[in-house]
A = this chain, B = another copy of it.
Amino acid sequence: MQLTNFDIPKGFSSFVTNLGIKDNTDDFVLVKSEVPCVADGVFTQSLFAGPSVTISRRNLQDAQAQGIIVISKNANVANGAIGVADAEEIIQLVATETGIAAQDIVIASTGVIGRRYPIEKIRGNLSGIGTKLTTVDFEKAAVGIMTTDTVPKLATRQIGNVKLIGIAKGVGMIEPNMATLLAFFFTDAAIPKDVLPAIFRPIIDKTFNCLSVDTDTSTSDSAVILANGLAGEVSQQEFTQALQEIAHELVLKIAQDAEGATKVIEITVDSAIDYAQAKRVAKAIVNSLLVKTAIYGADPNWGRVAMAIGKCEHDKEINQEKVQIRFDDIQVYPYASSDEKLEQLQKIMSKEKVNIHVSLNIGEAAATVWGCDLSEGYIDINGKYST
């Protein structure tokens, strides 16, 4: 992805380097705003959330932040008190070196769980970083936060003078729940403190929280937005629209790059009783291993979609006699057993993006979720990730 200066919000600088966490690739990203930003963040609901999450949640309580640290290749999770102390020490080091107040620093960490940071290496390599900050390089930052990602994930929008950029990482352990993997948004728009969460959180809920690669929720999920106000005010409607578009774009990039994935799956469930029900049914389909493997093999076994809907056993209003299932515009239920329909279906299932549309016909709510197929590649990557 080519970024021009045009796309870069004002007032941000960055430093990306290798601290030697795991290998020689970049594993440390610092993005600093020249002034404190209005900020908001949403985080994993995991009971095993690590110190990066608990500290960042605390530091964002006042809706202000000035810097974001991301450490990749080690999640710093399930390390007890020593893990907390390590995270606090890193924040303090960065604060001292850069002049940002410690409580205005957000930290995120992603990688293997249950291993301590190589803290002595980190201490040595962070020394003097305050002088190394340069004009922000979001492409390098997007690479620096990657773990098993194969491509960096960025998206940008411009609204008048205001620029907005998002970067994200994540390809596995992805079923964000009221939170997300790692995603960071930077803008020079001026957005009031009490407005930003009202814009940001519903967007995350309808984009990142509608994504599932493998039903496993990370202990480190974090999505944070920093708005430094240097470009002045912006139409909140246009800003919301742009943020929504960026978030959606990043979600599709994650689904495309998901571990072992060969196809993106988009499921829309409509005419449900309420949004929660529509999303529950859509998630049941997108998370079904049998649906995922059928799509991988372009096997026109549409009955597995019916099976997956059937798993929502608490949604007693759902009646199999009212349900309709379509792939693109081909209706398969009720009753597409003809060889001709199955051939059409096989063609649809061979596309790079497979759209499944379910109408429950019991209400007026709809939801769309995204996921990917399941291939041998996922097994290969995850049978030997930590070692």
- Hey, which chain B residues are within 8 Å of A365, CB to CB? none
In the complex the two chains form, is A311's CB within 8 Å of B78's CB? no
A340 touches B (CB below 8 Å): no
A293 touches B (CB below 8 Å): yes
A95 touches B (CB below 8 Å): no
Main secondary structure of the interface of A (DSSP, over half): loop
Q: Within A293-336, which residues are at the interface with B (CB < 8 Å)? A: 293-294, 296-297, 299-304, 306-313, 315-316, 318-321, 332-336
Expressed in whole angstroms, the minimum distance between the Cβ of A321 and any Cβ of chain B is 7
Binds B, one of A8-16, A46-54, A194-202, A223-231: A46-54
- Hey, which chain B residues are within 8 Å of A299, CB to CB? 383-387
In the complex the two chains form, is A289's CB within 8 Å of B216's CB? yes
Rounded to whole angstroms, the CA-CA distance of A18 and B156 in the bound complex is 62
In the complex the two chains form, is A77's CB within 8 Å of B382's CB? no
Rounded to whole angstroms, the CA-CA distance of A297 and B376 in the bound complex is 13
Number of this chain's copies in the assembly equals: 2
A170 touches B (CB below 8 Å): no
Bits for A326-351, please: 1 = Cβ < 8 Å to B, else 0.
Answer: 00000011111100000000000000
- Hey, which chain B residues are within 8 Å of A315, CB to CB? 47
Given contacts A46-B311, A217-B307, contact A386 B114 (CB under 8 A): no
A177 touches B (CB below 8 Å): yes
- Identify the closest chain B residue to A302 (Cβ): B114
Rounded to whole angstroms, the CA-CA distance of A336 and B116 in the bound complex is 10
Rounded to whole angstroms, the CA-CA distance of A195 and B217 in the bound complex is 43
- Most chain B CB atoms below 10 A, which of A294, A300, A306, A318: A306
Bits for A369-387, please: 1 = Cβ < 8 Å to B, else 0.
Answer: 0000011101110111111
In the complex the two chains form, is A293's CB within 8 Å of B382's CB? yes
- Hey, which chain B residues are within 8 Å of A378, CB to CB? 289, 293
List 7 tightest A-B contacts by C-beta distance, closest first.
Answer: A113-B303, A297-B383, A48-B310, A46-B310, A114-B303, A293-B382, A301-B386
Residues of chain A having any CB pair with chain B under 8 Å: 44-49, 75, 77-80, 112-116, 172-173, 177, 214-219, 287-290, 293-294, 296-297, 299-304, 306-313, 315-316, 318-321, 332-337, 374-376, 378-380, 382-387
Can you offer 8 A-B residue contacts whose CB atoms are under 8 A?
Answer: A48-B306, A49-B310, A78-B333, A78-B334, A112-B301, A216-B304, A289-B289, A297-B384
- Hey, which chain B residues are within 8 Å of A177, CB to CB? 311, 313
In the complex the two chains form, is B382's CB within 8 Å of A289's CB? yes
Expressed in whole angstroms, the minimum distance between the Cβ of A309 and any Cβ of chain B is 6
Excluding A77-B307, A116-B337, A173-B290, 16 further A-B contacts by CB distance (< 8 Å) are A47-B309, A47-B310, A47-B320, A48-B320, A75-B303, A112-B303, A114-B335, A215-B215, A216-B304, A289-B378, A293-B379, A294-B385, A297-B384, A301-B386, A301-B387, A374-B379
Expressed in whole angstroms, the minimum distance between the Cβ of A265 and any Cβ of chain B is 14
Rounded to whole angstroms, the CA-CA distance of A44 and B177 in the bound complex is 28
- Hey, which chain B residues are within 8 Å of A301, CB to CB? 112-113, 385-387
